[in-house]
Amino acid sequence: MSLVIDSVYKKFQRFPALNGASLTAPQGAFVALLGPSGSGKTTLLRILGGLEQADSGAVRFADLNWLDMPARQRKAGFVFQQYALFRHMTVANNIAFGLEVRPRAERPAKAEIQRRVEELLELVQLKDLGKRYPSQLSGGQRQRVALARALAIEPRMLLLDEPFGALDTKVRKELRVWLRHIHDKAGVTSVFVTHDQDEAFEMADLVAVMNKGRIEQVGAPQDVRRDPRTAFVSEFLSA
């Protein structure tokens, strides 16, 4: 059940954001999309999430023609750089959201939803903060809520768009370790966008270096570092 991205193209008006991006990753892998701004990594992530549509290309995952499904059917948990928490809802209600909007047939009972929310709050180490509002939390706490909310829907895939970009260095470092730990526990395929090399190399099983809308090289962190395949990759990594 690997993730196969095949020649995805996307243009914004005249600007070619994705120019034939391709990538294969095994089930459960933690993939980092690494590259400078404008390389197309966020666009590719948003296409995986169903927030943008590809002009052409295909994605297969979990035996599904991924790009044929609208976002709400994909069960692809998305974590935004600016958290995108529902400010008018408590932390607990934020996390419960994905379960509460399910059609009646699939919706768990209220008690069950509550139980899951509690479970997730513990997982992200925010145990007693369920009744708080996002505005009462720190940046790091908000991002953990965002992750818990995405995990609540038991996603097939986890997509993270520079999730620590808005946080300070110390918090970033703590959250990196923690996120990798959560990923290992949950066992879900994750795609993680970053422009920070250290972050990518520290966390990922597979690093995909992107440039100008194409994935120039994919591999295990140490392999990519030791053996850069194009001029761009070697320059980018030595910077």
Q: At what angle do helices 91-100 and 110-123 cross, to 10 degrees?
A: 130
Residue 110 as a binder of another protein (CB under 8 A): the answer is no
Exposed (0-12), middle (13-18) or buried (19+): which is 3, by Cβ within 10 Å? buried
Under 8 Å CB-to-CB from 105, ≥6 apart: which residues? none
Whole-number minimum distance, CB 228 to another protein, in Å? 32
What number of chain residues touch another protein (CB under 8 A)?
Answer: 41
* CA of residue 235 relative to chain centroid, distance: 26
Which of 16, 22, 24, 51 is the binder for another protein (CB under 8 A)? 51
Q: How many of the other CB atoms lie within 10 Å of CB of 176?
A: 18
The reply to whether 21 sits near another protein by the rule CB under 8 A is no
Nearest to 17 by CA among 25, 29, 9, 28: 9
What binding mask, one character per residue, do residues 143-172 give for another protein by CB under 8 A, x or -?
------xx-xx-----x-------------
- Smallest gap from residue 149 Cβ to another protein (A): 7
Position 236 contacts another protein (CB under 8 A): no
Among positions 68, 122, 223, 235, the unique one binding another protein when judged by CB under 8 A: 68
CA–CA distance, 135 with 85 (Å, rounded to integer) = 10
Q: 52 or 216, CB closer to another protein?
A: 52
Place of tokens 């440039």: 211
For the stretch 27-58, what's the b/e string if a residue is b when 16 or more beta carbons lie within 10 angstroms of its beta carbon?
ebbbbbbbbeeebbbbbbbbbbbbbbebeebe
Interface residue with another protein among 35, 98, 130, 163 (CB under 8 A) is 98
Q: Which is nearer to another protein, 74 or 214 (CB)?
A: 74
What is the C-alpha to C-alpha distance for residues 76 and 67, in angstroms, rounded to an integer?
A: 12
Nearest residue (CB) to another protein, 192 versus 232: 192
Distance CA 72, CA 43 (A): 18
How many angstroms separate the CA atoms of 6 and 44, rounded? 11
Q: Which stretch, 61-69, 112-120, 180-188, 217-225, contacts another protein (CB under 8 A)? A: 61-69
Binding of another protein by 135 (CB under 8 A): yes
Nearer to another protein, 100 or 174 (CB): 100
Does 74 help bind another protein (rule: CB under 8 A)? yes
| Residue 86 sits in the site that holds another protein (CB under 8 A) | yes
Please give the residue ranges that form the binding site for another protein (CB under 8 A).
Answer: 49-54, 56-58, 65, 67-78, 80, 82, 84-89, 97-98, 101-102, 133, 135, 149-150, 152-153, 159
